Copies of this chain bind each other. A is one copy, B any other.
């Protein structure tokens, strides 16, 4: 059910790309994440690549060297496209075969001469969205976040009765998901100021981020046929970081009775490198948040294998930097650190629930975890939680203070996995900067 540790995770592997071995590198040869890139200067087509150290391996360019065979070759042949959808649809045995072949190739000095012309320095490239996203679904799977957010509205009863029985979710807006580095203007929207009786149409005053992990769906299921919780793992291609930007004032005014809509749909940012479930095998761990007093999931959402290794032990961090901090040469300030093990529901349970009514998930669909928060201060994944809904301010090292985000604030998420006996792997950054609001009917000043 859960992919096993194999030779591609061996910490003794030596890659002939030197930068892959730098201490703290996100992309050692044990990682091998997939993304969609092109050289910035040239008018090139986007295509699929694999990150290795500070380089990108142009997978379809390697095809000509004749180093792929069998299922690995079939998978590599999917990589000439400007999106990972075809590779995602190719299924887990082909993903694995390509990973094994890439690992061997990058550790075999004798093919370095043939392969190295297919490496592009990351600094020369730009990235685009990993996939054409058909559906984007956002869950609410961090019980600490659900409790923290719920307690702002229902202090005595923060968790709703369904929370421990099913992974609550809503449909997000796929068209406005962009890759890390795409800045966006502060959105306008309708909001009801405190004490007012007439709403305003104005730029949001409560712009927030939400720290999430997004899972990318691989093979599709047929409409009308559910995916069992034990089969769900094979539907997951990999994960990225995800910033579910949120306008809290728009959201508060619009969300009854049908849920979030324009408070979310102006922008969502994902990191460009998809860390595969194969790469994450060494970091799987028990699903520890569910305690003995919690109800056992219904059988269709339950699995012994998930109890043992269903969670992913990933360390996440949120940093913010204001314009003044940047101008004065300050580093971004860390606002929170937490761990993906705090999820009450695993991604397999999310997929099993999502498809339990027969709903079809398709290759390239994106499934967000929901905001990731821990139990206490320093672990919250949104400003809503850090400032208790804007009631408290916090200080930046520049002497400025914040409740929600100001214009020109840059928000950056990073994450990594580490475990004794294995090589640390990272996700790369998910970052974007809030540009000032503009008249809503003018075209934006940034590339969208």
Point out residues on A near B: beta carbons under 8 Å. Answer: 134-135, 140, 150, 160-162, 165-166, 168-176, 178, 184-185, 187-190, 192, 198-201, 222-228, 247, 250, 253-263, 265-267, 295, 298-300, 353-354, 356-362, 365, 440-444, 446, 448
Q: Can you add 17 more A-B contacts, CB < 8 Å, to A168-B258, A168-B261, A226-B440?
A: A134-B134, A162-B253, A168-B254, A170-B170, A171-B265, A175-B359, A175-B365, A176-B223, A184-B358, A189-B357, A225-B441, A225-B442, A225-B443, A227-B441, A258-B259, A262-B356, A265-B357
Within the assembled complex, what's the spacing in Å between the Cα atoms of A360 and B267? 10
How far does the Cβ of A83 sit from chain B's closest Cβ, in whole Å?
14
The winner among A135, A228, A258 for most chain B CB atoms within 10 A is A258
Within the assembled complex, what's the spacing in Å between the Cα atoms of A261 and B175? 19
Contact assessment for B359 and A189 in the assembled complex, using a CB-CB cutoff below 8 Å: no
Chain B residues lying within 8 Å of A247, measured Cβ to Cβ, are: 357
Q: How many copies does the complex hold?
A: 2
| Chain A interface, >50% SS class | loop
**Contact A260 B262, CB 8 Å, known A174-B134, A176-B223:** no
What would 13 A/B residue contacts be, using CB atoms closer than 8 Å?
A: A150-B257, A162-B253, A162-B254, A165-B190, A175-B223, A175-B365, A188-B357, A190-B353, A222-B448, A224-B266, A262-B357, A265-B357, A266-B359
Within the assembled complex, what's the spacing in Å between the Cα atoms of A353 and B250? 12
Q: Which of B171, B223, B300, B362 contacts A201 (CB 8 A)?
A: B300
Contact assessment for B254 and A166 in the assembled complex, using a CB-CB cutoff below 8 Å: yes
How far does the Cβ of A216 sit from chain B's closest Cβ, in whole Å?
15
Nearest CB in chain B to that of A299: its residue: B201
Contact assessment for A441 and B262 in the assembled complex, using a CB-CB cutoff below 8 Å: no
Within the assembled complex, what's the spacing in Å between the Cα atoms of A176 and B360? 7
Q: Which of B224, B300, B362 contacts A185 (CB 8 A)?
A: B224
